[in-house]
Every structure is written in C-alpha cells, then in structure tokens.
Structure 1
Amino acid sequence: MSPLRRRQLRDENDGLDLHIGDRPLALPAPVATLAREQLDLRPDDDAWLFPGRLPGQPLDPQYLALRLRPLGTSISALQNTARFRLAGAVPAKVLADILDFSVATFENYARLADGTRGDYPALRTR
C-alpha cells in the first residue's frame, strides 16, 4: 500500500474520512486526532499526510508507530481492524487476491464480522 496523501482525508459527517478507492472509511478518534494534526501542519493538498525528513519522502513506518503508541493503538491493530471491516463488506476471494492473503484468512474474518459475501461467485453476472 502506498503512503497516504492529504487529499485522501476529508472532513465529512462530523468526522474525518479516509478515501481509498471509491469508499470512505471513518477514522476512529485516536487516529483522526493524529491525522487532523498532520492536516493542520501541511498546506499542500498533494503532500504526504505523514511526510518524512527527506523532501518528497513519506514518514518512516517505525516513527509513525512511535506516534501511535501514546494514542493506545498500533499499525498492526489498525491493519487488523481494517481487514475485519473490509471482510464484512467485500468477498473473501476478492480481498485475498488484492491483499495477497489466503482466502481462508478472509473467510475467517468474514465469519467473525458476520459477513454475507461468501457467495461471491453467485453475484457475478452470467
């Protein structure tokens, strides 16, 4: 996954939404707080949301992890939450192919999320 750009964050519905693809994802409070701080610091809409020390480079993921720790979360926890939420809305096979995971992993996430997308082949047009 590529680093985030400022233009991918939008203030909508009394919250901060992250736009990846065509569906917005409402950011939870700890992450929204950190993202809002970054938005306030950077005026350029096309800039990295978390710019690194070197011009034109994004922030190192290890440094970002250090900033998330005081907020009570981690990159790993956020990734797992994102996978769980996606599994409830997107077919397991599609997610597995896109994210290079086993189908069984996303079938398990979908089952835990009470997802109803296991019948993906039946959704295809003939």
Structure 2
Amino acid sequence: MHDDTLAIEGRFAGLLVLLYAQPLTMVSQLPVTSVIIEGSQTSMMLGDTPLLLPDPIDKLARQLVARRRGHITIGTSDNSPWLFPGAYAGQPLSSHHLGTRLKRLGIYSRPGRTSALMGLSAQLPAAILTELLGISPETATAWTQEGGHWARYAATLPGRRLGA
C-alpha cells in the first residue's frame, strides 16, 4: 500500500482483493464512477451501498482516478470509463492480465480473497457483507456461518498442546 515504487493500479487492485474480498473479474470491470469523491471523503461502490474508504486507501483511490492509464497503442485512455483501462481503447483490463500483475507483486487473488472473506465474515453480519461488497446473500450467509466457526476454532488454539 505504501510502496510508491509500485504501480498505483496494482496497489489499489490488490487492496480491493485483500481487504474487501473482491474477485478479479469484479475489480477489472469497475467503472471510474465506482469511486465517489465528495469533499474530503472518498467512497467506493462495490455493492449497493457506498463503502467509505479509510485513509490512506482513499488517497490511493483519488490518485488512481486522477492518473489512470491503460496500455493502449492507439488512441487515449484519458477518457476511458474504466478504473483499470485495458490494452484496447474503451475496454477494461482483463481479469487475467490483472491477476498476472498482482502475482508479480506477490498477491494471489484466490487465497487473498478467501482470507479477506474469513476476516470480514467474522466481524460483519451477512446483510452488511451483501450491501457493501456486492456478494450474494447466500454467499454472505455461508461465509458468516463459516467465519463464526473459524473464530471459535482459533479461540481454542492457545489451549491446545502441540504434537498431542
């Protein structure tokens, strides 16, 4: 998040996967309008309800919107409707290409997303996960039930003897 030598696109996309459990197919298809800047607050539409981005994620979102660029060879991506413009004018970055970029940063989307869902589901009710993250109510309920199970399991670990 704080390494300015890394591309802002990779940092922000990685945060969406690792903190907000977003699948690469969703991240790659985000329109630039999904970032909502109102005064000093920055929100993001991942589901039905705007998600207020905390500092410093809000600053990364603002920087990305201000200077997003794709890798097009003809035309310009300045007026692209996509948060992550792709190689062809008017097209978003493919989820495959985004995944490749994230792997170069050491971010593997499936385990990262699973870990994020485990953490979020232990903290938030299913209805909130659905509204904020845009996941189905069935998925949110399943993760919330599993999250409670994992939280109980983790709580028992300190009392266990290793090798027993």
Tell me which interval the TM-score lies in, with the shorter structure as reference length. Answer: 0.5 to 0.7
The answer to which structure has the higher helix fraction is 2
| Bigger relative CO (Cα 8 Å, ≥ 6 apart) | 2
1:70 aligns with 2:104: yes
Per-residue CA distance 1:8-63 (angstroms, 9 max, x = gap):
23568x99753322141648979x8699456413544x711112223332211111
Q: Which of 45, 49, 52 is the equivalent residue of 2:83?
A: 49
How big is each residue's C-alpha offset from its partner over 1:46-101, in whole Å with a ceiling of 9 and x where there is no partner? 71111222333221111101211233312224422442354221327x85x81654
Q: Which runs of 5+ in 1 are unaligned?
A: 115-126
Q: Distance in 2 between matches of 1:38 and 1:64?
A: 17
Residue in structure 2 matched with residue 107 of structure 1 by the alignment: 145
Q: 1:72 to 1:18 in 2, by over 3 A?
A: farther
Q: 1:22 aligns with which of 30, 49, 53?
A: 49
CA RMSD of aligned residues (A): 4.3
TM-score (normalised: structure 2): 0.44
TM-score, length of structure 1 as denominator length? 0.54
Which consecutive unaligned segments of at least 5 residues does structure 2 have?
A: 1-24, 70-77, 153-164
- Give the letter for the 1:98 counterpart: S
Between Structure 1 and Structure 2, whose CA radius of gyration is higher?
A: 2
Q: Secondary structure at the match of 2:136?
A: helix
